[in-house]
Amino acid sequence: NSFCTLLELPNTDPENLMSTLLVTASPRYEGSKSRALATKLATGLADKLSLPLVTRDVAQLPAVTEGFVNATFVPPTERTAEQRKALELSDDIVAEAQKAQVIVLATPMYNFGPAAGLKAWADHLARFGVTFEYTADGKPVGKLTGKRVYTVVAAGGVTEGAPHDALSPWLKAYMPFVGLGEDHTVIWQVAGAQGAVDKIDSILADATSAPQS
């Protein structure tokens, strides 16, 4: 696509992938299970892999705007100052993901799906020609490849794959769309269960090397 070639493409050189990125979405700061579990995982991985920890809290992240949408359809060299400003937050979010070797996402399940902040983060991250593109026959190709990704879900009483679980199908569709589905692990916390804690402990015990692109 000729427009795609005009856009900034991510730098996936392994030497430039230098962080563990923690993205937390729960509106709760005290007593949030997803936040606590993901923080434990991300800090442990950052320490074990000797990667600096970068954190972004998206609980209050604004949704994408009309200005954002319009600006994404304009080649970078032709954007106005107003259009560049409309993309500043998205540019920062994309850059953090591009530079990360490990990404840890944390979200509660709200009304059977992800927290609004995580959905907003995903919308800011999905940029045509930057984090995904399409082949000639219309197949999407994600560009944020070569990363290890974990999503910690605090789901209350909803088990993974249950009829009311709309979060798992969304993750399954979205993560490969931007290239984050190659090495993606979902850690599902059901109220009162120990499985998520045990899984995180196992991941940290086995973490000895950073992923390779």
pLDDT in tens, 48-76: 999 999 999 999 999 999 999 999 999 99
Contact 44, 207 (CB under 8 A): yes
What average pLDDT does the segment 77-101 reach?
98
Place of tokens 């259009």: 83
Residues forming beta bridges with residue 102, ordered by sequence position: 20, 148
Q: Per-residue pLDDT for 10 more than 80?
A: no
Q: Per-residue pLDDT for 4 more than 60?
A: no
Structure tokens at 88: 């500043």
Question: What's the burial of 12, exposed, middle or buried (CB within 10 Å: 0-12/13-18/19+)?
Answer: middle
pTM greater than 0.85 = yes
Give the C-alpha separation, 212 to 94, whole Å: 20
Quote the CATH superfamily of domain 4-206.
Flavodoxin domain (3.40.50.360)
Over the range 15-50, which residues count as b (16 or more CB within 10 Å of their CB) and which as e? eebebbbbbbbbeeeeebbbbbbbbbbbbbbbebbe
Per residue in 143-189, pLDDT (tens digit) is 999 999 999 999 999 999 999 999 999 999 999 999 999 999 999 99
Q: Where are the domains of the chain?
A: 4-206
Q: Which residues contact 32 (CB under 8 A, 6 or more apart)?
A: 24, 26, 106, 108, 154
Give the C-alpha separation, 121 to 61, whole Å: 7
Closest-CA residue to 118 (of 84, 88, 68, 152): 152
Per-residue confidence at 208, pLDDT binned at 50, 70, 90?
A: confident
Per-residue confidence at 15, pLDDT binned at 50, 70, 90?
A: low
Phi/psi of residue 159, each to 5°?
-80, 155
What average pLDDT does the segment 76-83 reach?
97
User: Helix crossing, 33-49 with 195-206: angle to 10°?
Assistant: 10
